[in-house]
Structure 1
Amino acid sequence: MSDALIIGGHGKVALLAAPKLIDHGFAVTSLIRKPEQAEDIEALGATPLVLDLTQLTPDEWDALLVRFDVVIWSAGAGGGTPGRTYAVDRDAALAVIDSLERLRDAGKAPRYLNVSYVGATKHSVPEDDPFFAYADSKKTVDDRLNGTEGLDYAILGPAALTLEPSNGWAPVDAAAENPEWSTETSRELVADVIAELAARDTLPENRTVEFIDGPNPVSEIG
C-alpha cells in the first residue's frame, strides 16, 4: 500500500479527496491545524496529524515528507489577513518545495500534487485588491515549482470552485467553443483529479493541468 499525505487536510477539497485516495489504495494521512478536526479525518478512514505548517523547520519538513509516496498541497489561509495568507500560501508552500529538492538530492522525493488555480502564473490582480496576497502567493509558488528539476510533480489549475457534484472534466479552453457550459470547477472534480494523478504510473508531460467541469472521464485528463 502506498502512503499519501494531504497538507491542509480539513479543507473542502481535501475532505473529498481523502476517501477517493483510500479507494485508490492509499493509506492517507491528513495534516490539520486544530485537534478538534481529527474526528472528521478519522471518520473518512484517514489518519490525522496535527501540526502548524507555518512553524516547521527544514529538518522537520524533511522528516515528514520522506515518509510518503505522494504529497498533496491543498492548504490555504482561507481568506485571512495578507500576513497569514503569505505565511501559509507562499512561505509554507515554498518550504515544502525546498524540502522536496533536498529529498530529491537524496533520491527520496515523493510525487507532489500542488492545488493552485487556473492562470495563477499569469494573474493581473492589482495590489490594492483583497485577492492580491493570495494571487501573488500562488504565482510565486507555481513559478518556483516550475523552476525545479528532477521532481515528479503536477500543478492542478481548477477554475472558480463550487460544491456541485462532479460529472467529469473539460479543458479550460473548451468553454469558448461551448458557451452553454459552466466555467466553474466542482471541488469534487478537483478531488477526483487528485486521486487519479496520485495513482498514475506517470504524470502528464504538461505539468500544469487546468480544467473545468465537463463531460470527459477523469481517466482521460492530462
Structure 2
Amino acid sequence: MKRAPLIALIDGPLAADAPGFASRADICAMHPKAAESPAALHASSMAAAIHANAPGARILGLSIFAGRLSTTLASVAEALRRAAESEAEIVHCSFGHCKSSPLMDEAAAAVLGAGKLLVASAPARGAPVYPAGCAGVVSVQGDARCNSSQWSLLNLPGAQYGACPVTPGVPVRGASLAAAHFTGLLARACMSGGIENMLQYPSFTGRERIGTGGPQAA
C-alpha cells in the first residue's frame, strides 16, 4: 500500500493535536485568541472529516483565517502558491470567493500545474464561487444521500461531485464538510486502487431529488 498523501489544508489555524497534523504555516497574522476562534473550529472539523476516510493522511495547515471566517484574495493566492510549492499531493479549500479574478485563476493554475489535485467546496444554490469555479478544480457540494464514505457524480454547473455534508457531533456542516469528506476519499484512493479507479464507481449519479419518500437517486 502506498504511503498516505500529504494534504495542504487552506483554512483556519490548525492545532498541533489535530488529526494528521504535520506542520502549519500562517499566511496572515493570527488573532491572539485564534486557537479558540470559529476559524480554528472550522479547520479542526475539516481535518477530522478528511481523517474519517483517510486515517493515515498527513495535513499541512496553511492558515488564511485569522479568527473569523473571512480573509483576503491576496492571502488565498499566497496560500495556493505555497501549496503548489509544497510536497502536498492534494490541496483542500473549504471556502469560496464570490467573484472570479485573474489572481485566483493564476494561483489555482499554479497548483494544478504542479501536478496536484485541488479540491474546493461549492454551494448547492446560488452563483459559482472560487476556487471551485476555476478550471480544473475538483468542485464538491453537499449531498444528503451520501454517508461519510460515499460520493455522488453530479456534473452540475456549480459542482462535479457531492459528498456527505454532516458528521455526528461536529457543528460545521454543508459544502465545507462535504468537500473535506471527498478529499479524504481521494486520499484513501491514493493509497489503494488509485483515484481513476475510485471515480468509476459513484454511489449515486445525477442531482439529488427530494420527494415525499426522502432523498432518491436521479
- TM (norm. structure 2) is 0.48
Bigger fraction of residues in helix: 1
